[in-house]
Structure 1
Amino acid sequence: MIGIHVEARRKLLKGAYIAFDLAVLVSVMLLAGLFYVHVYGQHTVSRHPEKLVLQESGVVMASDGTVLRKIPLPGSGYRKLATLEEMPKRLVDTFLAVEDRRFYRHQGLDYQGIARALLNNTLHMRVSEGGSSITQQLARNLYLNRKQTLLRKLNEASIALALEKRLSKHDILEMYLNQIYMGEGQYGVKAAAEHYFGVTNLKELDVAQIASLAAIPKGPSIYHPGDDAGLSVERRNLVLGIMREQGLITQEEMAAAQRKEYRPPERAMERRIGASYIDAALEEASRLTGKSQTELLTGGYTIVTGMNASVQQALEETFSNPDLFPPDGKDQQVEAAMAIIDHRTGEIAALTGGRNPVRGGLNRATVDARQPGSAFKPIIDYGPALESGRFTPESLLPDRKASYGSYAPENLNGVYRGQVTMRTALQQSMNAPAVWLLSQVGISQATAFAAKLGIDLPKEDRNLSIALGGLHAGISPLKMAQAYSVFASGGVFREAHMVRRIQDSKGNVVYEYVPRERQAISPQTAERMTGMLRNVVTEGTGKKARLGRPVAGKTGTTQLDLPGVSRKANRDLWFVGYTSEWTAAVWMGFDRTDHNNYMTEGSGKAAALFAAVMRKAYKE
């Protein structure tokens, strides 16, 4: 008997020791868990302060208010921020009634809600409720993923507690209502109100709209107002019942809202045009404000440009016609770029950096990389000569072979007339008279004239080969259009620009273009140049640029000049010209010109493209 009692006592003691060990282990685990919950959230929030500054989508607009792009936020969608004070009290109270009624009575964790969710999930044998407070939802959305794991829930609770210590209830609720996903790529109640109802002033929301918005977070993909299954109406009516129960609306208001049918707003569709233009406008805006492009795109800025949406559309539609371009090479498509300036204001009306431009792609319209050929002659030869006062369009110039040290230019057709007027030399794009003219005016005076038109030539270009457009680094279509715009505007220089105005998220103007103009060259020089350039279009090399209105302009061609390749092979084709409203420059060529990729057509092809774009822009 004694042995039995001893054995029983030994087992009892062993069980007690095990129980004690388990109790100690559980206590240690609880303490570790409490320590983890306390430390993890504080550490996470402290390490990522940027998460507490919500990004806001930027908007790029054309001159007439057409929205060109609502810039999506990196990795997400579109968001517009609103303060809690900008939101109607009924909207805020409805979200609290639906999502977290004890928001102002807990410190981040709604223990009653958690207990209720545990009970209901147990009864239903599935996860049907989350029990997460608004602070927990914000913690999850800012810092975590949506995986339903115990660790994620623990982390969520820890971060929620940390947020409550760092932020006020006002700030947490405001951030939640701006951060919450509302379906169809919209984040926050302001973006959702604009997207689903066309309402930009949140205080204009009616009862049905408020209920519809508060219905979305439960299931953004199925409860947004635009769904086709009718689930959003059921959810909206459920929310209306909660609003009535909480005394937020009357029985009559609830009944009226339940009868209301959803009609999507007639929102203006974004015009998916101007990829190259937008890239260049953002670069300009960044330079003007000193802000990075990322700041501009995620800081809620609205950038109003000078784009003429109709002209941009005409430009891109014309560029989509392959018949207007030379044949492609063996392994490359022939490319093109064009810039159009409204020389009355200096605003860039339209621009494309290629035939199939994409955001972030090569912008051939703004890169100084192409030889302008004879299109440079008005800028560096004939313009400076007229401005000097020593020459007129009727001045006689020698047209004969001549050498200038080691430089011996030739006329392309090998024909020399002995003597021609300046008007004829430009009209027929003769080389010999152009080089002679530059030698007479002087390179210093000529380059100073070009600088007045916006073209600053480096020291490598201080030689006579610039007379025929042989530049060290090349030039862009935009700079060529800028230079010719001075001729078009009576000698007045107006800086080509895209950005008209920049506003921050509150509507404050942070930049606005202030017109500045200067008389760069004499009105007489501009008038005489325009007369000669009109001659080029009516009777000379630019005939294919003719329209049903006066056009002045000049063609330009640079030859390939590679051994074993036909002398007819060309590297660059240009036409730069203007009407009474717009100055435009067109370039054609290959990104990489070689034995397999070159053009045999002449600059008339560029002149014809100019005319095609302008006809569509003018709707001739």
Structure 2
Amino acid sequence: MNGLQTAMKRKVMRSFYVAFDLAVIGVVLVLAGLFYVHQYGGFIVGRHPEKLVLQESSVVVASDGTVLRKIPLPESGYRAMAELEEMPELLKATFLAVEDRRFYSHQGLDYTGITRALWNNTMRMKVSEGGSTITQQLARNLFLNRDQNMLRKVNEASIALALEKRLSKHDILRLYLNQIYMGDGQYGVKAAAEHYFGVTDLKKLEIMQIAALAAIPKGPSIYNPLSDSELPRERRELVLSIMRQRGLITREEMLAAVHEEYMPPAATKSKTIGASYLDAVMKEASDLTGKSREDLQTGGYTIVTAMNTAAQSALEESFRNPDLFPPDGKDRQVESAMVIMDHRTGEVLALTGGRNPSAGNLNRAVVDARQPGSSFKPIIDYGPALESGLYTPESVLPDLKTAYGSYKPENLNGVYRGQTTMKVALQESINAPAVWLLKQVGLSKAIGFAAKLGIDLPEEDHNLSIALGGLHQGISPLKMAQAYSVFASGGFFREAHTVRQIKDSKGKVLYTHDSKQRQAIKPVTAERMTAMLRNVVNEGTGKKARLNRPVAGKTGTTQLDLAGISRKANRDLWFVGYTPEWTAAVWMGFDRTDKDNYMTAGSGQAAALFAAVMSKALKGR
């Protein structure tokens, strides 16, 4: 009997020790869990403070205020930030009533809400409520992924507690209302209000609209107003009833809002234009501010551009017409680029870097890569000669086949007149007089003249071949338009620019273009050059550029010069010219010219494209 009692006693003691051990382990696990909950969130928030600064879509606008782009965020959506003070009290109160009634009384975790959710989920035998506070939702959206597991819920709670210690309730609510996904690619209540209702001033939101916005977070894809079902209306009515229960609106206001039909804002009719232009804008804005392109796109900046939407649309419409371009090659399309600028201000009004431009593609309008041919003659030959005061348009120049050491330039048609005037030499684009003239003026003076027009030539170009536009690296349509704009403006240099102003997300002006100008060349030089270039268009190689107003300009052609290929094969076609209002440069050619891909058309094709674009762009002026 004593043995049985002893055995029982040992069994009881063993059970006690096991229970004690389990209790100790349980206490240790609880303490470890509490330690984890209170430490993990602080570590994560402290390590990633940048997540508490929300990215905001920057906006690019045209010169007339037309919004050209709202730049999408990396998550492929749009966010417009708003301070709590910009939001109506009813909006804030409604979101709190729907999402987190005890927001101002808890410290990140609503234990009452969690208990209620656990009870209801247990009674319904399914997870139908989450009990997450606004702080928990913010923690999840900013720091965690969408995995549904216990560890993520623990991490969410831990980060929520850390956020409550670090931030005020004001800041948490501000972050939440700007961060929350609102469906259809919209982040935050400000972006959603404009997207779904066309409302930019949040304080002008109506009761129905506020209810519709507060209905979305529960299911952004199914409850946003554009969803093609009855679910958004049903959810909106539920929110309205909550607003009534909480005393936020009267019964009459609730009933009026219930019966109000949702009407989406009128869809914008404008086409997306200016892909190449915007690439140039972002590059220029980055250079001006020292900020990276990504920072400029996600910092909520407003970039005001010089784009003239009518001119840009006219340009792109013409570029879609294949009849305005030479035939394509065997396996490549003829490309083209064009720049239009206002020589009275220096503003780039329109620009395209290709026939089918898209963001991030090669922007041929701004890349120094093409040989300008004879369109370079006014810049490097005749302009410097006029500026020297030793020559006039009527000056007689030799037109003889001449060798300059190993350099032996030839007239394109093999005809030499013996002599000709400067005016006729430019009009007919005769090569021999141009090279002779550059030799007489001197390379250093000619290169200095080009620099005054915005073209700095490297050491490799200090030779006579530049007289005919043979450059080591090449040049861009933008730089050619910039140079000719000096002739067009009476000798004044105004920097070509696409950006007028840059403002930060608070509306503070970070940059405004300073419209400086300098007298780059003598007014008489510009006047005489303009008369000569008008003669080129009226009587010479640029006839196809003629419009119903005065046009001055010059064509340019560079030959393919490949063995076995016709001498009529060309690499580059140019026309650079100006009206009294605007200056423009056109280039045509293949990205890679070879025996299968070359042009037989002449530079008159580029002149015709100039006329087609400018006649539309200048209509009504």
TM-score relative to the length of structure 2: 0.97
- Please say if 1:586 is aligned against 2:590: no
- Please say if 1:306 is aligned against 2:306: yes
Q: Displacement, 1:323? A: 2.5
**The residue matched to 1:104 in structure 2 has which SS?**
coil
Q: Displacement, 1:77? A: 0.9
Which runs of structure 2 are paired with 1:118-517 in the superposition (5 Å)? 118-266=118-266, 268=268, 271-517=271-517
Q: Displacement, 1:15? A: 3.0
Q: What letter matches 2:265 in structure 1?
A: P
Q: Is the 8 A contact 1:66 1:271 kept in 2?
A: no
**The residue matched to 1:105 in structure 2 has which SS?**
coil
Distance in 1 separating the partners of 2:283 and 2:97: 46
Distance in 2 separating the partners of 1:304 and 1:395: 47
- Please say if 1:97 is aligned against 2:97: yes
**Which residue of structure 2 aligns with residue 556 of structure 1?**
556
Q: What letter matches 1:108 in structure 2?
A: G
Q: What letter matches 1:356 in structure 2?
A: N
Distance in 2 separating the partners of 1:264 and 1:88: 21
Residues 232-269 of structure 1, C-alpha deviations (whole Å, 9 max, x = no match): 22212211111111111122222222222222223645
Q: Displacement, 1:492? A: 1.7
**The residue matched to 1:174 in structure 2 has which SS?**
helix
Distance in 2 separating the partners of 1:567 and 1:11: 109
Q: What letter matches 1:454 in structure 2?
A: G
Q: Is the 8 A contact 1:67 1:271 kept in 2?
A: no
Q: What letter matches 2:355 in structure 1?
A: R
**The residue matched to 1:558 in structure 2 has which SS?**
strand
* Range with greater deviation from structure 2 (150-159 or 17-26): 17-26
- Give 5+ residue unaligned stretches, structure 2: none
Q: Displacement, 1:481? A: 0.5
Distance in 1 separating the partners of 2:102 and 2:439: 87
Distance in 2 separating the partners of 1:244 and 1:258: 12
Distance in 1 separating the partners of 2:30 and 2:106: 22
Distance in 2 separating the partners of 1:268 and 1:342: 28
Distance in 1 separating the partners of 2:268 and 2:509: 24
Distance in 1 separating the partners of 2:459 and 2:145: 58
Residues 469-500 of structure 1, C-alpha deviations (whole Å, 9 max, x = no match): 01111110000001111111122211111001
**Which residue of structure 2 aligns with residue 26 of structure 1?**
26
**Which residue of structure 2 aligns with residue 525 of structure 1?**
525
Distance in 2 separating the partners of 1:106 and 1:169: 10
- Please say if 1:82 is aligned against 2:82: yes
Residues 446-488 of structure 1, C-alpha deviations (whole Å, 9 max, x = no match): 1121111111112221211111001111110000001111111
Distance in 1 separating the partners of 2:345 and 2:231: 53
Residues 104-155 of structure 1, C-alpha deviations (whole Å, 9 max, x = no match): 1111000111111111122222221111000000000001122221111111
Distance in 2 separating the partners of 1:225 and 1:39: 41
Residues 42-90 of structure 1, C-alpha deviations (whole Å, 9 max, x = no match): 1111111110111111001111111111001112411111111111112
Q: Displacement, 1:100? A: 0.6
Q: Displacement, 1:10? A: 4.1
Q: Displacement, 1:595? A: 2.8
Distance in 1 separating the partners of 2:386 and 2:76: 58
Distance in 2 separating the partners of 1:64 and 1:461: 41
**Which residue of structure 2 aligns with residue 17 of structure 1?**
17
- Please say if 1:70 is aligned against 2:55: no
**Which residue of structure 2 aligns with residue 35 of structure 1?**
35
Distance in 1 separating the partners of 2:271 and 2:71: 13
Distance in 1 separating the partners of 2:403 and 2:367: 33
Q: What letter matches 2:65 in structure 1?
A: G
Q: Displacement, 1:514? A: 2.2
**Which residue of structure 2 aligns with residue 609 of structure 1?**
609
Residues 337-384 of structure 1, C-alpha deviations (whole Å, 9 max, x = no match): 111111122110110111111111111110111110000001111111
Residues 288-312 of structure 1, C-alpha deviations (whole Å, 9 max, x = no match): 1222222211111000101011111
Q: What letter matches 2:362 in structure 1?
A: L
**The residue matched to 1:333 in structure 2 has which SS?**
coil
Q: What letter matches 1:128 in structure 2?
A: S
Distance in 1 separating the partners of 2:76 and 2:361: 22
Q: Is the 8 A contact 1:300 1:504 kept in 2?
A: yes
Q: Displacement, 1:93? A: 1.1
Distance 1:416 1:515, change over 3 A: same
**Which residue of structure 2 aligns with residue 110 of structure 1?**
110
Distance in 1 separating the partners of 2:230 and 2:422: 76
The number of aligned residues is: 620
Percent identity at matched positions?
Answer: 75
Distance in 2 separating the partners of 1:40 and 1:3: 54
Q: Is the 8 A contact 1:108 1:161 kept in 2?
A: yes
**The residue matched to 1:572 in structure 2 has which SS?**
strand
TM-score relative to the length of structure 1: 0.97
Q: Is the 8 A contact 1:69 1:270 kept in 2?
A: no
Q: Displacement, 1:335? A: 1.3
